[in-house]
């Protein structure tokens, strides 16, 4: 955060608080100074809140002073006072700007009217937001280039996309403004920016993180909130903070065994696992993307795990995913705009919404309700087809593992290297390019299972490439254990390399 702490993760920073080496006020001041210096070029944080952040950090500093005055065993690592950023989509904060990349909300100077369940959990843990981060309009694409706020640059190369839709959050973490940031993932929107910016991006199991009180069946159940982090250990500890369900949630993830946590996964001694590896067949992944997967697969083999190449669940790359998810996504877009029309008391128009989202809503409005239900049923059949591929795992659920199933599936995140800004937002060809790049991410959104992006390689231009691990439904503990296993074997890009071009 300061010159000698800028590469530290949240766990190390919190340990420095506990040791009295620094405090949340000093850490926040350093974060704000770094934001002031870097953000004009990055355009990552669009709603800074420096005065409130400093005041909340001062409160955290007093709490740490009280702990130091009365030393004791505090159990799990406290993240009290750690600076974070919050994506400007979901995670509503009462009184804070909340624009979701939409021009009409900017024009209205729209602000949140309540604290979401998720934000209350983050604040209860003492984390302090420096501000809200840039996102594409309504988070419906994988690059962060909203018309109203302009593009966010990738800290590794400002001509490249930081991914999306959590690209502003990813850029803020990769640049070292904050050690971790909120994101959400309805179609790769945590994993894609993590891959593009060299971060750890965990998409939790559906229902692990509550969307209360405002959202329920959000986008067909595809979308889930999470955090973008610099390390696996931060991903585990953040998930322990935000995994509390709320009454009435439509989905509830399998609970952990009593007296365990996701952080416990970091020190688990793994037995030999059955790991399937897939790059999707000919033409699906570029040479750099395949090489990144092969490198990680080779490391896992050296660590004693059984690797099965060219293996994926039956139907994993089926075209029916695209056919039916587009129905769910377009109807959801139509519903979202209808909800805003009701709240504003006027119809939405083409002046309010970017062309791609207007087209999506128009298509959604043209479909009968029966088409939406039929697509949901088709996707449920697809889930039942693919999910028997996974063992419940020795960590995730405690059941015996079958020799006919696999513990983990390893794939690329993106099918190719991170593209330049403008490549995915091109009006003529952007949709096709997005479809080609995202052949490895939508599956976990439809299935609801957890997946994590890990920064394991660099492309020929020295920019990060991510690989992706999938586990069975409820299997975040197994994913985190394998990810930490890779990290302990020096299989991730070193922290000091993250965002090196922004420094």
**Can you spell out the DSSP letters for 408-419?**
EEEEESSSSSPP
d(CA 107, CA 352): 10
Q: Report which of 256, 140, 260, 263 is spatially closest to residue 208, judged by C-alpha positions.
A: 256
Residue of 25, 87, 169, 286 marked active site: 87
Cα 15 to its chain centre, rounded Å, is 25
Q: Report which of 246, 223, 227 is spatially closest to residue 237, judged by C-alpha positions.
A: 227
- What are the start-end ranges of the E strands in 52-114? 83-87
Inter-residue contact 67 to 20 (CB < 8 Å): no
CB neighbours (10 Å) of residue 461?
Answer: 11
d(CA 315, CA 139): 27
Would strands 224-229 and 180-185 be described as parallel, antiparallel, or unpaired? antiparallel
Tokens of 316: 């994993």
As beta bridge partners, residue 360 has none
d(CA 434, CA 280): 16
d(CA 23, CA 27): 6
Is-catalytic flag, 189?
Answer: yes
Residue 308 contacts by C-beta under 8 Å, 6 or more apart in sequence? 274, 275, 276, 277, 406
Sign of the C-alpha dihedral computed for residues 251, 257, 260 and 266 taken in this order: negative
Residue of 165, 210, 265, 447 marked active site: 165
d(CA 132, CA 184): 13
Inter-residue contact 386 to 127 (CB < 8 Å): no
As beta bridge partners, residue 466 has 455
Residue 141 contacts by C-beta under 8 Å, 6 or more apart in sequence? 164, 165, 356, 424, 425, 430, 434
Cα within 13 Å of Cα(42), Cβ side: 33
Residue of 189, 375, 453, 502 marked active site: 189
d(CA 169, CA 1): 16
Cα–Cα distances in angstroms (integers) from residue 334 to residues 212, 215, 328, 434, 442, in the given order: 21, 16, 10, 21, 20
Q: Report which of 478, 454, 481 is spatially closest to residue 467, judged by C-alpha positions.
A: 454
Tokens of 369: 């309700």
Catalytic residues: 87, 165, 189
């Amino acid at each position: 955060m300061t010159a000698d702490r800028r590469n530290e993760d949240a766990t190390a920073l919190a340990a420095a608080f506990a040791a009295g080496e620094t405090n949340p006020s000093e850490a926040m001041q350093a974060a704000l100074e770094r934001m002031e210096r870097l953000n004009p070029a990055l355009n990552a944080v669009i709603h800074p809140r420096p005065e409130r952040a400093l005041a909340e950090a001062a409160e955290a500093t007093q709490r740490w002073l009280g702990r130091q005055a009365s030393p004791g065993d505090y159990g799990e690592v406290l993240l009290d006072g750690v600076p974070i950023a919050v994506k400007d989509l979901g995670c509503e904060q009462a009184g804070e700007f909340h624009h979701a990349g939409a021009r009409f909300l900017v024009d209205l100077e729209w602000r949140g009217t309540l604290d979401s369940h998720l934000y209350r959990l983050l604040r209860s843990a003492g984390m302090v937001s420096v501000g809200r981060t840039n996102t594409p309009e309504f988070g419906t694409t994988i690059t962060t280039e909203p018309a109203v706020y302009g593009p966010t640059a990738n800290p590794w190369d400002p001509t490249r996309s930081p991914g999306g839709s959590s690209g502003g959050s990813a850029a803020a973490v990769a640049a070292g403004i904050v050690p971790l940031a909120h994101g959400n993932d309805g179609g790769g929107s945590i994993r894609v920016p993590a891959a593009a910016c060299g971060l750890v991006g965990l998409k939790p199991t559906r229902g692990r993180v509550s969307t209360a009180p405002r959202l329920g069946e959000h986008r067909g159940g595809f979308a889930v909130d999470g955090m973008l982090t610099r390390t696996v250990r931060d991903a585990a500890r953040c998930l322990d903070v935000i995994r509390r369900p709320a009454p009435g949630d439509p989905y509830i993830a399998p609970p952990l065994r009593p007296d365990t946590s996701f952080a416990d996964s970091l020190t688990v001694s793994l037995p030999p696992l059955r790991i399937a590896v897939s790059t999707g067949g000919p033409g699906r992944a570029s040479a750099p993307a395949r090489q990144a997967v092969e490198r990680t697969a080779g490391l896992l083999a050296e660590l004693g795990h059984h690797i099965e190449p060219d293996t994926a669940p039956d139907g994993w790359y089926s075209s029916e995913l695209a056919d039916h998810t587009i129905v769910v996504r377009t109807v959801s877009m139509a519903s979202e705009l209808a909800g805003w029309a009701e709240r504003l008391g006027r119809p939405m128009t083409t002046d309010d919404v970017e062309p791609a989202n207007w087209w999506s809503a128009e298509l959604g409005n043209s479909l009968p309700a029966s088409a939406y239900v039929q697509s949901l049923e088709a996707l449920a059949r697809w889930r039942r087809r693919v999910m028997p591929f996974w063992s419940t795992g020795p960590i995730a659920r405690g059941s015996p593992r079958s020799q006919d199933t696999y513990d983990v599936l390893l794939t690329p995140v993106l099918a190719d290297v991170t593209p330049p800004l403008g490549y995915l937002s091109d009006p003529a060809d952007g949709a096709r390019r997005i479809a080609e790049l995202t052949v490895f991410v939508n599956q976990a959104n439809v299935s609801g299972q957890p997946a994590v992006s890990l920064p394991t390689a660099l492309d020929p231009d020295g920019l990060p490439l991510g690989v992706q691990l999938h586990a069975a439904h409820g299997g975040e503990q197994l994913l985190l254990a394998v990810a930490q296993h890779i990290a302990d074997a020096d299989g991730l890009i070193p922290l000091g390399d993250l965002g090196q071009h922004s420094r």
